[in-house]
Amino acid sequence: MDKRKRRAVDSAWYMLEKRATIRETAKIFAVSKSTVHKDLTERLPKISETMAKDVRDVLDSNLRARSIRGGNATKEKYRIIRESNNH
């Protein structure tokens, strides 16, 4: 198996085990987020359709959670601003 295919499979296993985001996976494998995305969405389906489907489920779940995390971060930001203005 060539280096890219091996990285795609290793990245997929990591993402599935940890329910990791693309950003977290990229950091672990010391590659860009674009590389991880390409590995998981283009290379992986050619290697294992089943694993690719499972990874797609994690990616979709992370995508749904992203807006919630962003909303919570904004809420926390304005809470801190409100508290600093009250002191």
46 CB burial (10 A radius; 0-12, 13-18, 19+): exposed
State the pLDDT at residue 1.
81
For residue range 21-68, list pLDDT tens digits in order: 999 999 999 999 999 999 999 999 999 999 999 999 999 998 888 777
List all residues 6 or more positions away from 47 whose beta carbon is below 8 Å from its beta carbon: 5, 8, 9
State the pLDDT at residue 67.
75
For residue range 57-66, list pLDDT tens digits in order: 999 998 888 7
Average pLDDT of 2-31? 96
Are 53 and 12 in contact, with CB atoms under 8 Å apart? no
